[in-house]
Amino acid sequence: MVVSVKEFDSAKDFLNALVIEGPTPGLNYSGFVFRGVSIGSGENERKLVPLSLREEKFPELIKLSGSAEMPASYSSEAAKQEWIQARAEAKVLGSFFRHADREGLAMPEITSRIRQTMQTPGTSDALFNFTVQTRGLWPPDDLLPLAGQAQHYGLPTRLLDWSRDPWVAAYFSATGALKYSSDSKYKGEKLAVWVLNTELLDFEKRLARPKEPIELPLTLITAPASTNPNLKAQRGVFTVWRPPFVAGTKQKVDRRPLDELLEEVFSGYELKMPLLYKYTLPIDLASELWAVVRHNGVNAARIFPGFSGAAKAVMEDAKWK
């Protein structure tokens, strides 16, 4: 079984199972990463789909890349093409790099190749072109630190945000769900925290099947926390799914969520334990969850270090009262 769903009807039971007992009691907790999700305005908000790969976000991605707005009739077809999708992502990262670099901001592990190819808008998609020609991985390894930085500041990439701290995931899940918990439209919905067992993934790839290695295009990424205070405070890490290019410009974009991708890869294997856990809680208990999270000192001031986080914490206090 790849995914195990655990449903709770009490915020305290939810947090006790998530934070104290852990997904698999007795195992080293450092091997798990956590992602909190709420309801959101669309189905993909609840799924493990990166921001840039959510189909409803495709027009926004094209706009951010600096390309002309596409007619709706063409946009739906273009959204299926990997070369259009990935090239737009490359242009967004190039623009982010140029703005940050020209202002003298500390950048994470920028290689000479990245610096050379992202100096101008016309060359910022050169890395993608090289990936297509060599049937490599997108994004390439030396672009991942920059993608992590851009992701953490709100730009759409193929990376999924996770945290090594379950309290952080619970905070994002609770605060996100509070926006919808009083709306009758969402009655019966559930917030959730996803838990990924990264140690088991690594074990299955390298040790469990040495004669029949599993082709698993999932990469765990850690960006330098020294250049990103939010990442440090949130103990953030990322995952990215990177299948190699096999058909050049004819390749289709795979927009499936991570749990479905893992189910497909491991469909013929018997796992000793789940790779993914999904902890759920009714959305009308979001305020109860938030109360326990805040009581344990996890608030906006801790999650977003600096004056902006302190100001947001004041707003949270007022909302709570």
Residue 41 is predicted with a pLDDT of 46
Alpha-carbon Rg of the chain, whole angstroms?
A: 20
Residue among 265, 267, 241 at smallest CA distance from 253: 241
- Least confident piece of the model among 38-47, 57-66, 81-90: 38-47
Average pLDDT score over the chain: 84
Which DSSP symbol is given to 252? Answer: B
Mean pLDDT value of segment 96-109: 86
Every domain of the chain and the residues it spans: 1-49+159-321, 51-155
pTM: 0.88
b vs e for 181-220, b when ≥16 Cβ sit within 10 Å of the residue's Cβ?
A: beeeebeebbbbbbbbbbebbeebeeeeeeeeeeeeebee
Asked if 60 and 85 touch (Cβ cutoff 8 Å), the reply is no
For residue 152, what are the contacts with CB-CB under 8 A and spacing of at least 6? 161, 223, 228, 230, 231, 236
Asked if 277 and 289 touch (Cβ cutoff 8 Å), the reply is no
Q: How confident is the model at residue 243 (pLDDT cuts 50, 70, 90)?
A: confident
Of 220 and 215, more confident: 220
Work out the end-to-end distance of the chain between its first and last CA atoms, rounded to an integer number of angstroms.
Answer: 43
Task: Report the percentage of the chain scoring pLDDT > 90.
Answer: 34
**Residue range 155-190, pLDDT digits in tens:** 999 999 999 999 999 999 999 888 887 777 888 889
Asked if 157 and 149 touch (Cβ cutoff 8 Å), the reply is no
Handedness of CA 25, 29, 35, 36 (dihedral sign): positive
Tokens 């509070």 sit on residue: 178
pLDDT at 61 over 80: yes
Asked if 8 and 281 touch (Cβ cutoff 8 Å), the reply is yes
Asked if 54 and 255 touch (Cβ cutoff 8 Å), the reply is yes
Q: What type of residue sits at position 284?
A: D
Residue 52 is predicted with a pLDDT of 94
